[in-house]
Every structure is written in structure tokens, then in C-alpha cells.
Amino acid sequence: MSMFAAIIRVWAFVLLTLVGLQLIPLILALGYGEISTSQSFMAAMGMEIFLAIAILLAVARRHANPMPGEGIFFTALIFTTFPVFLGLPFVIEKQIGFAEGYTEGM
């Protein structure tokens, strides 16, 4: 049994859900003709899909049962990593820096 495998698997699925939600601003950017914004969203979504699939493949064969205390780890993982992914399109487009993108993602 691998420690945290169940939580990391859930985190990857939540990341894929975030990618699906990023389709909304992507469609809006395409609708308004903002090519650079849409390209940055597509690049960020591609990186996030690659990361989520790589994580899912890495923990695919692990026996995963949530253990006590993993909820705290999951909460910390979400609060530290999701602002990175939420601010990534704006950092790629060079609208804002990484620290400001992280803060905006919170």
C-alpha cells in the first residue's frame, strides 16, 4: 500500500476538472479574438493535462485506501498548488509575474 496514493489520485482528477473549467475563459478569449490570451490558456491547459495524466499513470497500480490524516495533506496540497495552476495562463502571457499570479490564484 502506498501512502498518499489515494489523495494524489483524487488531486489529479480535480486538476483535470480545473482544466475543464478553464475552457470557459478560453472560449471567451477566442470569441473576443484575443489570440495571445487563448494561446496562453491552451498552453497552460496542455501542461496541466500532461501533469495530471502523468500522475494518474504513476499511481495507477498502487493499492490506494485513504488513511487517517490524509485529508489534511489533501487540503494543504490544494491550497499550495492550485494557485500555481490558476495563475499559470497569465504568467505565460507575461501579464503578471509568478508571485502576483500565485496571489491572484488564491
Q: Taking the domains of the chain in order of start, what are their residue ranges? A: 5-105
**From CA 17, how far away is CA 61, in angstroms rounded?**
22
DSSP label at residue 65: -
CB atoms within 10 A of CB 106: 9
Q: pTM of the prediction?
A: 0.80
pLDDT tens string, the chain, 106 residues long: the values are 466 777 888 889 999 999 999 999 999 999 999 898 889 889 999 999 999 999 888 887 767 676 777 778 888 888 888 888 888 888 888 878 778 777 777 7
What is the Cα–Cα distance from 55 to 41, expressed in whole angstroms?
A: 21
| Selection from 18, 17, 12 nearest residue 105 by Cα | 18
| Dihedral sign for Cα atoms in the order 26, 30, 41, 60 | positive
